[in-house]
Amino acid sequence: MSPKIKLENFIAPKGMQDVMPSDCLYWDYIFSAVDKLGKTYGFNRIETPILEDSRLFSRSIGENTDIVEKEMYNLTTKGGDKLSLRPEGTAGVIRAYINSGMANWSQPVKLFYTGPMFRYDRPQAGRQRQFTQAGFEIIGSMDPIFDAQMIQLVYSIFKKIKLKNIVININSIGDAKCRGKYKTALVDYYKSRANKLCPDCRRRLSKNPLRILDCKEEKCSAMREFAPQIVDYLCVECHNHFKSVLEYLDEINIPYILNPYLVRGLDYYTKTVFEIVVEGGNKRQLSLGGGGRYDDLVEILGGAPTPAIGVALGIERIADQLKASHVALVKNSSAKVFIVQLGDKAKKKSFKLFNDLLEAGIPAAESFGRGSIKSQLRVANRLQVRIVLIIGQKESLDGTVILRDMESGMQEIIDSLKIIKEVKKRMKNGN
């Protein structure tokens, strides 16, 4: 007698969750707006690998960022290649831009993507270790109108999905020409207060002082209030660029808040940076996405100097906010016809009829798993299907189908050989 095999109760890895059908309803709603408006604004879809060369991220995001130091999922293949699960989408898109010769395309190149990202961090509401983003990139233009257009696009997406109280936090972090002086001023400010900083920020003080401004620790946030502001250190070019961006936003009345301490978490940003937040009733702001200009990244990754700007939206957080805001979604069915069956022979006939309808280009639905006609008709009502085709034992023997109009309640018997033609006629006439 063979020993009994013990069955394990497997669960999803920590920080990685199943997305249930009720949640997918919100995801599809968001992705539909992303896809439709992205294409309206001239963006083309791109998909990049989930795994990339680890050096791609250390070089683009920055060696001294939390992501590279602590949060990346790294692996070594059997062939010795060092790869990482992508923690963000922009670096992979820029690699593809360089590899595929997109620099020879008409500029700027507009691309968008959706997909999972991975960061080994403490799981929290709206940000798991595997999370999903929708991202947009405009590559190949320095013109500030594209900074404003990127913000206009994401604001339009939130408007389309009916999320209210959306505000843009915006700042400029300058470029290599003016950021050095600001970093010196920032270090001077925090040096005398270093003992009051959290351990991470004490380390950042020597490696990446701008990241102190992004710290969420309460004691670090309190000190930030009196820290030097980068807008006071911008060179003429960066100042004028930022001024133009704000003027474009004013033209289309997009609400924004000047946040002098907004820096974003990745090293590749230059000039304009922004976050999309939803304001709560208690003054709390929840970030639903963010982005900025990254004019040096293409060159850093081996391409020719090429200005660019991008944004990424957090799908889980947006879906949670839709639910919290009570945005009601209804599961829509594309079915025009519903098949009801009763009995084994009828089920076989219905199975063929379902196939015939689909081959004829008629969207159909069924409920083969249900036995009673009453329960099947309830499904048809829920799907708001007007034409119902009923096959019972008698109809399966007679070679007929009962056609029922759910709106009027009228029924008639149709020859099964003529049913497709009759359904098409009624759909065409709207009956």
Q: What is the CATH number of the domain that holds 59?
A: 3.30.930.10
For residue 327, give both structure tokens: 């945005």
pLDDT for res 293: 97
Under the banding of pLDDT at 50, 70 and 90, the label for residue 215 is: confident
List strands edge to edge, sheet with 74-76: 51-53, 82-85, 74-76
Under the banding of pLDDT at 50, 70 and 90, the label for residue 371 is: confident
Q: 69 with 112, same domain?
A: yes
> Which residues are 117's β-sheet partners?
131
For residue 12, give both structure tokens: 């999803």
121-150: pLDDT as tens digits = 888 877 899 999 999 999 999 999 999 999
The whole-angstrom separation of Cα 206 and Cα 212 is: 11
313-359: pLDDT as tens digits = 999 999 999 999 998 886 666 889 999 999 999 999 999 999 999 99
pLDDT for res 431: 54
SS3 146: helix
246 Cβ contact partners less than 8 Å away, ≥ 6 residues apart: 170, 256
Q: 146 with 241, same domain?
A: yes
Q: 144 with 68, same domain?
A: yes
- Segment 39-47 shows an average pLDDT of 97
What is the pTM assigned to this prediction?
A: 0.87
217-250: pLDDT as tens digits = 888 888 888 899 999 999 999 999 999 999 999 9
Across 1-15, 194-208, 400-414, least confident range: 1-15
Q: 368 with 258, same domain?
A: no
Average pLDDT, the chain: 91
Q: 282 with 354, same domain?
A: no
Q: 267 with 390, same domain?
A: no
Cα 123 to chain centroid, rounded: 18
412 Cβ contact partners less than 8 Å away, ≥ 6 residues apart: 402, 403
Cα 31 to chain centroid, rounded: 7
Would residue 7 count as lying in a domain?
no
pLDDT for res 168: 96
Q: 98 with 38, same domain?
A: yes
Would residue 190 count as lying in a domain?
no
Q: Which helix (H) or strand (E) holds 249?
A: helix 236-251
Domain boundary among 296, 324, 352: 324
Tell me what percent of the chain is helix, strand and coil, each rounded to the nearest 5. Answer: 40, 20, 35
45-91: pLDDT as tens digits = 999 999 999 999 999 888 777 788 789 999 999 999 999 999 999 99
Domain boundary among 292, 324, 356: 324
Would residue 330 count as lying in a domain?
no
Q: 368 with 292, same domain?
A: no
The number of folded domains in the chain is: 2
Q: Which range marks the domain in which residue 45 is found? A: 21-175+235-324
Q: 402 with 281, same domain?
A: no
Under the banding of pLDDT at 50, 70 and 90, the label for residue 4 is: low
pLDDT for res 3: 62
Question: What does the H/E/C string look like for 94-115?
Answer: HHHHHHCCHHHCCCCEEEEEEE
Q: 75 with 115, same domain?
A: yes
Would residue 310 count as lying in a domain?
yes
What single-letter amino acid sits at 425?
A: K
What single-letter amino acid sits at 296?
A: D
Q: 156 with 76, same domain?
A: yes
Q: 167 with 312, same domain?
A: yes
Domain boundary among 274, 298, 324: 324
